[in-house]
Structure 1
């Protein structure tokens, strides 16, 4: 048996919007040529970069937030690692979806131009924040989930999921037309219904979280649940089928080995 691929640290940001009792989440469709979860609908997110660890990438970061994260047994060895995951979640959401979770006086056109330069590798995240005079909404991020890609996959990620109420800041959300090719604000119920018909393929963690959101029903309910739950790493199980092929079994299913 070949050795499992190493786990890469990653972070995802679940954006919540809409009426309190009819929440919607932003979903992005991964590109067909993506080497990981091609064509799957996911929340914005990606791999933690080395630059995410730099203090300049996290202006205004409150040290007590890192302490809270460490106290919630997230498996981080130090504050810098915890901070880097939050930076990654914010940066990837800006890159992939065009949503800056924070405040800026810059016009939409200036923000969009900065995003395009960042995607093209012509600038850096910390330089963008300075250019936009952005104040990031650190205190609005709530840690809510942790998923690990199973060993059978060629690319594996150790991903922390954060949640935030986006409000009017999500109005201009748009996929980047490179890593993601479609975007939509959907209620959990609609996304799950479209997944059931095969119209929309949800990644396993996305499916699991949306199922919880449908049960909780309100934005406050979702955020309260995320803030209070005892988060443990979860991984889908990939089980062989008798007729060939495999079945992906999520935690909580009676067939899951845990």
Structure 2
């Protein structure tokens, strides 16, 4: 799912690698209004400085290797193999950035360097609690480009008290959808916020996969929103 694409710089066309990434929307639905977990990026970050985002980050090669040997269930049970590393990376990034953990009481055998921090919690990731929500590829012309899968999880799946964070996100907090919509959001975050609002309008019980899923990308002339399945090999635009 990683590709090379032409991105337009200020003066010339440059090759910008499309890196795989993941975002995890954690929703607290215990109150009268759903609330989502979000944080603010640092002002000195190259990509999306000062923007409010969902926890997430890059998918590492170690995430792919881990997914190949990970025997616990995903959601759905027939989740496409290519998407499984994104789900695992989402849980890892959530823990590193917010200290919140979606896991089970099982030690991780032989964790590599990328998973050492998570492994110290004494738990293993529990991707069965993650529901695929959307996919997006950053349009050309950006300083960084990502092929990102977004997942949704119920806050009742959090399995441990908050731990220390890596400090990558500031002002981490829970926001109702109207309040989240008033934050300084990246365009794609706003689109996914609309998608999750549609889910909540349809049901407050999102234990099942929401299919088909929106896929946002540029076809070279327009920005598109197609519908795809997470149960088959992801399409390449």
TM-score range, shorter chain: 0.7 to 0.9
Structure 1 runs, 4 residues or longer, greater than 6 Å off: 236-239
Describe the superposition over 1:35-58 as per-residue Cα deviations: whole angstroms up to 9, x where unpaired: 101111000001111211223897
**TM-score for both structures, normalised by structure 1:** 0.67
SS in 2 for 1:201: coil
Q: Which residue of 2 aligns with 1:180?
A: 169
- Is 1:136 aligned to residue 125 of structure 2? yes
| Cα distance, 1:90 vs structure 2 | 0.8
**Does 2:197 correspond to 1:233?**
no
Whether the aligned pair in 2 keeps the contact of 1:104 and 1:132 (CA below 8 Å) is no
Residue 22 of structure 1 deviates from its aligned partner by: 1.4
CA distance in 1, matches of 2:50, 2:192: 19
User: What does residue 89 of structure 1 align with?
Assistant: 90
Q: Does the 8 Å CA contact 1:147/1:158 hold for their aligned counterparts?
A: yes
Q: Secondary structure at the match of 2:23?
A: strand
Alpha-carbon deviation of 1:229?
2.5
Which of 8, 11, 16 does residue 5 from structure 1 map onto?
Answer: 16
Aligned to 2:187: 204
Counterparts of 1:93-242 in structure 2, within 5 Å, are 93-104=94-105, 124-167=113-156, 169=158, 176=165, 178-192=167-181, 195=182, 200-217=183-200, 220-221=203-204, 223=206, 227-235=209-217
Q: 1:57 to 1:92 in 2, by over 3 A?
A: farther
> Can you give the 5+ residue segments of structure 2 that lack an aligned partner in the other structure?
1-11, 226-237
Residues 16 and 23 in structure 1, CA contact (< 8 A), matched pair in contact too:
yes
1:122-143 CA distance string (max 9 Å, x none): x835444544331422211111
Deviation at 1:178, TM superposition (A): 3.4
Change over 3 Å in CA distance of 1:191–1:128 after alignment to 2: closer
What is the root-mean-square deviation of aligned Cα atoms in Å?
3.6
Structure number with higher strand proportion: 2
Per the TM alignment, residue 223 of structure 1 is displaced from its structure 2 partner at its CA by: 2.6
Q: Unmatched 5+ residue regions in structure 1? A: 71-78, 107-122, 240-248, 253-258
What is the distance in 1 between the residues matched to 2:119 and 2:167?
25
Contact 1:96-1:180 within 8 A present in 2 as well: yes
For this pair of structures, how many residues does the alignment match?
Answer: 210
Query: 2:57 matched to 1:49?
Result: no
Specify the structure having the higher radius of gyration (Cα): 1
Q: TM-score, normalized by length of structure 2?
A: 0.73
Is the 1:16–1:25 contact (alpha carbons within 8 Å) kept by the matching residues of 2? yes
Question: Given the alignment of the two structures, is residue 18 of structure 1 paired with residue 29 of structure 2, yes or no?
Answer: yes
